[in-house]
Amino acid sequence: MPTIHLFVKGKVQGVFYRATAKKIADKLKLTGWIRNTKDDDVEISATGDEEQLKQFINWCKQGPEKAKVEDVIVAEEGEKFFTDFEIVR
């Protein structure tokens, strides 16, 4: 299954971005991880089928209600294998 790596920029920390993204990822049956970066962005690695990943990217561009997403940088990664989708602290 394909794996994508995302950097989400904007007001994405302190707005429940990670918790909400985990709920969306679980619903879409994606695996991987999400974490805050020291630059106030959010970094995500997600594995799933192409349609699931496309839906997840579209959600990431909006984020939860209080987020103000300015940019989502998406890169493809080689296949990675995760057991679930987790928030990394």
Active site residues: 18, 36
Residue 19: HSE in the Cβ half-sphere, 13 Å Cα cutoff = 7
Q: Tell me which H or E stretch contains 73.
A: strand 68-77
Distance between the two ends of the chain, CA-based, in angstroms?
25
